[in-house]
Structure 1
Amino acid sequence: MLDPKKISIQDCSKVFRLGKETFTALDHVSLDVGEAEFVTVVGPSGCGKSTMMNLLAGLDTPTTGQALVDGKQVDGPSPERGVIFQQYALFPWLTVRQNVEFGLKEMVKDKAERRSIAEHYIEMVDLSEFADALPKMLSGGMKQRCAIARAYAVNPKILLMDEPFGALDALTRVQMQNNLLKTWQQDKRTVLFITHDVDEAVFLANRVVVMAARPGRIYDIIPIDLPYPRDDEMRLSPEFATLRNKIWQAVYHQDDSTYSGPLGPQNLG
């Protein structure tokens, strides 16, 4: 049974000040994510998806409430939380191997051990043939696979992924989704994955969190009862279509009079 509180967001709000005005990016959001669970977050623009990710990454702090990992409050960035953004953030002057080794320098002093760890994760994302290549020699999908290997190499308990495939073409995106699930099943971590793509949200997740905007809040949480491993044939199945349509309706046809927050459907009027 999954640990219900590997990640715990407890009644978090985030308010930004814009000159003399304020903007509520998150409004009393609560969410638990279990050990080795893969949760995707989807919602309209301005719903606070990236703000929630930044709180868990330790890149920002909540105005009220708590963001917890293993029951401890997040108080800054940590190697136990690997963060992968849409922009690959690779060092252009370093090879694939050197990029993957970079985060290990302070953790692993032995050079041979660092090399061994890096090569394990480079192989896991199918980049062994390009280990000595610079980022400029890689396609967009290969760069993102390198970023994933680098995040895995420091042995994080959690992967936080903020629209990591958003800049890729449709075919590469599907390939990356397949590759990510393969990697996750080989070396399971707790994953929180933000996306604006409903099909991607359904294909990857154990659960899909649907958010609503202005202010950002949880509108619904939908379990995805599709077996792993998942493949391209599953994308064409009636079961997949039913879940996709349900989540599409939740994202793009939200009724602002009610929403499913921490305490279930709530009246906003």
Structure 2
Amino acid sequence: MTSTTAKISVQGVTKTFALGRDTFTALDDLSLDIADNEFVTVVGPSGCGKSTLLNILAGLEEPTAGLALVDGVPVSGPGPERGVIFQQYALFPWLTVRQNVEFGLRTAGVPKAERRRRAEHFIALVGLEQFADALPKTLSGGMRQRCAIARAYAVDPSILLMDEPFGALDALTRVKLQEQLLDTWSKDKRTVLFITHDVDEAVFLANRVIVMAARPGRVYDVIDVSWTTARDERFRLSPEFAALRNRVWHSVYHQDGPTAAPQPSTTI
């Protein structure tokens, strides 16, 4: 895949931050292409620049050098084609689920009837129909995150940028939300970049897993996940999953130092 056909293209991106009289390099000459409707997860050692990469793609940070492009156009700030979901739910506590999902549509001037139609569609898509009139404080953590996902989908972004969205949830809820997210994605495709620290989560969700090197951050390994049947318990318990998990785990936690060269991609 070349950058001319990529939905997202990161070309030689470097990002440095000032630390008093010194500088800290979060990303170093990082390049990565993501295809339209591809689901990519990003893992790596703590502090390797995963969130910095997402913030650059979201338009919340500017690269020190290099380019980040969406549909061939350089990212110059936040845009409606990119929905961002963080670990914190960021819901308005005084608004109901429906009102939260409608919020971006209302600020965009979408007529009331159309707002309602689109909100109800995506509320149903994430399984919150019975809670459309509930306030966030009455919902579980997983339900709040589903509301945040519905709100992101409602404004019709072509890209979802997700930064540890399930990181604060208990293990069972996390597994359920992973399956729910894949179900939603299969019905209403988007290009997804999903940041996680969880190796199992990275393998379960992705078409490709990008492993970033320890600081300064860059691509260390790219691992294809070519499981073609349902992503469910059978996949989690399969030998293929175990092999992929071990490959990713080794790439994350047994890197050969900060100057290690990227490893070749593997398809299973």
Does the 8 A contact of 1:25 with 1:216 survive in 2?
Answer: yes
Alignment of 1:12-51 (within 5 A): 12-51=13-52
RMSD across aligned C-alpha pairs, in angstroms?
Answer: 1.6
In the aligned structure 1, how far is the partner of 2:229 from the partner of 2:112?
37
Query: Which shifted more, 41-50 or 101-110?
Result: 101-110
Matched to 1:50, the amino acid is S
Secondary structure at the aligned position of 1:221 is classed as: strand
Secondary structure at the aligned position of 2:185 is classed as: helix
Percentage of pairs with the same residue: 70
Deviation of 1:107 after TM superposition, in Å, equals 2.8
Tell me the residue number matched to 1:259.
261
In the aligned structure 2, how far is the partner of 1:167 from the partner of 1:259?
33
The answer to whether structure 1 residue 215 and structure 2 residue 216 are counterparts is yes
In the aligned structure 2, how far is the partner of 1:152 from the partner of 1:68?
21
Deviation of 1:258 after TM superposition, in Å, equals 2.5
Matched to 1:33, the amino acid is I
In the aligned structure 1, how far is the partner of 2:235 from the partner of 2:5?
27
Matched to 2:262, the amino acid is S
In the aligned structure 2, how far is the partner of 1:124 from the partner of 1:108?
23
Secondary structure at the aligned position of 2:41 is classed as: strand
Query: Which shifted more, 28-37 or 106-115?
Result: 106-115
Tell me the residue number matched to 2:9.
8
Secondary structure at the aligned position of 1:258 is classed as: coil
Deviation track 1:105-148 (CA, whole Å, cap 9, x = no partner) reads: 13343101101100000000000100000000000000000000
Tell me the residue number matched to 1:137.
138
What TM-score results when the alignment is normalised by the length of structure 2?
Answer: 0.95
In structure 2, runs of 5+ residues without a counterpart are: none
Tell me the residue number matched to 2:101.
100
- The change in CA–CA distance for 1:150 and 1:80 in structure 2 (over 3 A counts) is same
Alignment of 1:79-228 (within 5 A): 79-228=80-229
In the aligned structure 1, how far is the partner of 2:110 from the partner of 2:198?
41
Deviation of 1:225 after TM superposition, in Å, equals 1.5
Alignment of 1:222-261 (within 5 A): 222-256=223-257, 257-260=259-262
Deviation of 1:260 after TM superposition, in Å, equals 1.2
In the aligned structure 1, how far is the partner of 2:243 from the partner of 2:17?
38
Deviation of 1:175 after TM superposition, in Å, equals 0.1
Does the 8 A contact of 1:158 with 1:190 survive in 2?
Answer: yes
In the aligned structure 2, how far is the partner of 1:107 from the partner of 1:23?
38
Does the 8 A contact of 1:108 with 1:114 survive in 2?
Answer: no
Deviation of 1:191 after TM superposition, in Å, equals 0.3
**Which runs of at least 4 in structure 1 moved beyond 6 Å after TM superposition?**
none
